[in-house]
Amino acid sequence: MFGDLDLGVAVVAALLTGVVLLVVLRRRGPRRPPCAAGWIPWVGAGLRFGKAPLEFIEQARAQYGPIFTIFAMGNRMTFVTEEEGIDVFLKSKEVNFELAVQYPVYRTASVPKNIFLTLHEKLHMTMKGKMGTFNMYQFMGRLNEEFHEQLEDLGPHGTMDLISLVRCLLYPVTVNVLFKKGLIVSHKRKIEDFYWHFQIYDEGFEYGSQMPEWLLRNWSKSKRWLLALFEESIPDIKAYKPERDDCATLMQAVLDVVEGEADRHSASYALLMLWASLSNAVPITFWTLVFILSHGDIHKTIVEGISSVLGGAGREKITVSEDKLKKLLLIKWCILEAIRLRAPGVITRKVVKPVKILNYTVPSGDLLMLSPFWLHRNPKYFPDPESFRPERWKEANLEKHVFLDGYMAFGGGKFQCPGRWFALLEIQICIILILYKYDCSLLDPLPKQSHLHVVGVPQPEGRCRIEYKHRHDVCQAPRGPGPSGGATPPATHLAPGLQEG
Ligand code: HEM
Ligand SMILES: *[C@@H]1O[C@H](CO)[C@@H](O)[C@H](O)[C@H]1NC(C)=O
Ligand SMILES: *[C@@H]1O[C@H](CO)[C@@H](O)[C@H](O)[C@H]1NC(C)=O
């Protein structure tokens, strides 16, 4: 009898000890950030996250605080939203850019892991050098010429979907300047084919980076079409290499690095470069124009500025120089402000050794995530964050190439976007020349942004048409009392020698 009681006590004691031990161990063990895990194994919160990822990230922040993990489709994504976490994201040696993007790069462009890891740093340095602030003057002339040429095709007036108009300009200009002039057309494939396939590739990029290719047949077809185009044209791109090294195009410089061991992956790198140079620049040009055209006062100030700096005629083949850009600062502010409001949903790093952030330990293997989109909506950094307020950029030291605090649209740390200065220059020239040449107005209200994707900047949802007309037609209108009864022109005092008669 006593024996039985002893046994009972022993069992209860053992259980209690177990529970106490568990509690102690959990306390002592590293504490992980709170986790939105759903309840389905592996899928986790994947269904809700997949439906509206941007919203889900913000809801999780409201629920869990400044650092939290979203578990979805077998991945642990740990988001940081405040200083300490952002610091780790940008500076810690225990988090790694290459390991975070290697797999998506493999999925979308078929670059094998070992090749990617071997070449990445050198490639990044090459791109950073070619597109550094000191090299921007090299692009001025070409960008001006190319935009003028493409603008010719728009004719004296018309109505178009604004996103199509932007594509018609930026696709050929970017390819001609960064790859090789005439690359798309000289291959006798209609330029529309190129537009078509690149658009499908771009639209499916995010799915393509996560899913096996056989689930995405159209995307896979377009990817292969583009790879074949490059396969065919790489000898051409290389052949047109100029004598002087510093005159080589960006693509030629990239191919120089890839040459040798990785030669057969040249087309893959060309495809990645094409995507990087267009996927964000196109929607940002679109959003900037939409913001400008839908803010009457800003639009008016900009058009007046362009007239006073470049002249009012609209017909000359003017060149937008660095000096002139400095006098048209408001346009640069508008671009930066548009990028702030339409920033990439997420950027990512891989945790390679456990890192402490706030009171938590983020385990190795996690993807560390930062959302520029939501960071840019933190009123601590950007007061009145939802408003389009280009004047806030007055505070930034743009002369010294410094953005505002908390601005993360181009990523950060060692591997931030090497194309950012080129992007800003290209978009400035594009917008200035459009508004110099044409009177523009929108025929639709400000479109919504798509919330489906988190890679790169958000795309517009639904159509937004633009109507454009040569400014020429307006400025050359007969002076003096017109049909609407304008004022008589002021009497001019002609110099004696110029008197008529
Ligand atoms: C408004 C336009 C653009 C935005 C918002 C943007 C944004 C970004 C971001 C957020 C990253 C990742 C950085 C990180 O994780 O820290 C990135 C990488 C990159 N961007 Fe851009 N970008 C733009 C335009 C361009 C252009 C025009 C080019 C090329 C001409 C370009 C080339 C690249 C490349 C090659 C990388 C990868 C760098 C690497 O692998 O080390 N980007 N960009
Ligand atoms: C794939 O492309 C074909 C032909 O262009 C189109 O009819 C079909 O709807 C597309 N499928 C998907 C899933 O987008
Ligand atoms: C972290 O822990 C300290 C002390 O245990 C506590 O005072 C602080 O509020 C905690 N911070 C957060 C963000 O939980």
pLDDT tens for each residue of 346-367: 999 999 999 999 999 999 999 9
Query: Alpha-carbon distance 464 to 160, whole Å?
Result: 8
More confident residue, 328 or 23: 328
Question: Ligand 1 centre and the CA of 491: distance in Å?
Answer: 56
Q: Enumerate the known binding-site residues.
A: 280, 417
AA letter at 20 = V
According to the model, what pLDDT value does residue 8 have? 65
Name the pLDDT band for 7 (thresholds 50, 70, 90).
Answer: low
List pLDDT tens digits, range 260-297: 878 999 999 999 999 999 999 999 999 999 999 999 99
How much is the pTM? 0.89
- Tell me what the pLDDT averaged over the chain comes to: 89
According to the model, what pLDDT value does residue 375 have? 98
Cβ count near 435 (within 10 Å): 25
Domain 112-344+376-475 has CATH 1.10.630.10: yes
Name the pLDDT band for 182 (thresholds 50, 70, 90).
Answer: confident
Q: Check pLDDT > 90 for residue 10.
A: no
More confident residue, 492 or 273: 273
Q: Check pLDDT > 90 for residue 423.
A: yes
Q: Check pLDDT > 60 for residue 258.
A: yes
Picking from 10-24, 160-174, 383-397, which range would have the lowest pLDDT averaged per residue? 10-24
Question: Ligand 3 centre and the CA of 140: distance in Å?
Answer: 52
Q: Say if 28-111+345-375 and 112-344+376-475 have the same CATH topology.
A: no
According to the model, what pLDDT value does residue 312 have? 80
Ligand having the closest approach to the CA of 425: 1
Closest approach atom of ligand 1 to CA 101: 40
Compute the average pLDDT of residues 148-153: 95
Closest listed residue to residue 134, CA positions, set 429, 432, 425, 329: 425
More confident residue, 178 or 25: 178
Closest listed residue to residue 472, CA positions, set 155, 164, 159: 155
| Nearest protein CA to atom 43 of ligand 1, as residue | 417
According to the model, what pLDDT value does residue 386 have? 97
Q: How many CA atoms lie within 13 A of 125 on its CB side?
A: 6
DSSP code for 267: H
- Greatest CA separation found in the chain? 138
Query: Alpha-carbon distance 215 to 138, whole Å?
Result: 43
Query: Alpha-carbon distance 358 to 79, whole Å?
Result: 13
More confident residue, 493 or 341: 341
**Contacts of the segment 457-461: beta carbons below 8 A, 24+ positions apart:** 457/280, 457/283, 457/284, 457/287, 457/339, 457/342, 457/343, 457/344, 457/409, 458/54, 458/283, 458/342, 458/345, 458/373, 459/203, 459/283, 460/163, 460/283, 460/286, 460/287, 460/290
List pLDDT tens digits, range 100-109: 999 999 999 9
| Nearest protein CA to atom 10 of ligand 3, as residue | 359
Q: Check pLDDT > 80 for residue 410.
A: yes
Cβ count near 183 (within 10 Å): 23
According to the model, what pLDDT value does residue 260 have? 83
According to the model, what pLDDT value does residue 21 have? 58
More confident residue, 301 or 496: 301
Residue 236, judged by CB atoms within 10 A of its CB (0-12, 13-18, 19+), counts as middle
According to the model, what pLDDT value does residue 16 have? 63
E strands within 136-227? 157-161
| 392 Cβ contact list (under 8 Å, min separation 6) | 333, 337, 382, 383, 404
Task: Give the residue extent of every domain in the chain.
Answer: 28-111+345-375, 112-344+376-475
More confident residue, 313 or 63: 63
Compute the average pLDDT of residues 68-89: 97
According to the model, what pLDDT value does residue 22 have? 58
Name the pLDDT band for 486 (thresholds 50, 70, 90).
Answer: very low
Q: Enumerate the known binding-site residues for heme.
A: 417
Question: Ligand 2 centre and the CA of 57: distance in Å?
Answer: 31
Phi, psi of 457, deg, nearest 5? -80, 150
According to the model, what pLDDT value does residue 240 have? 76
Query: Alpha-carbon distance 440 to 430, whole Å?
Result: 14
According to the model, what pLDDT value does residue 482 have? 39
According to the model, what pLDDT value does residue 219 have? 98
Share of the chain above pLDDT 70, in %: 86
Assigned fold of 28-111+345-375? 3.30.43
Ligand having the closest approach to the CA of 370: 1
According to the model, what pLDDT value does residue 479 have? 43
According to the model, what pLDDT value does residue 27 have? 56
Q: For a pocket test of ligand 1, which of 410, 421, 453, 455 has the largest count of ligand atoms closer than 8 A to its C-beta?
A: 410
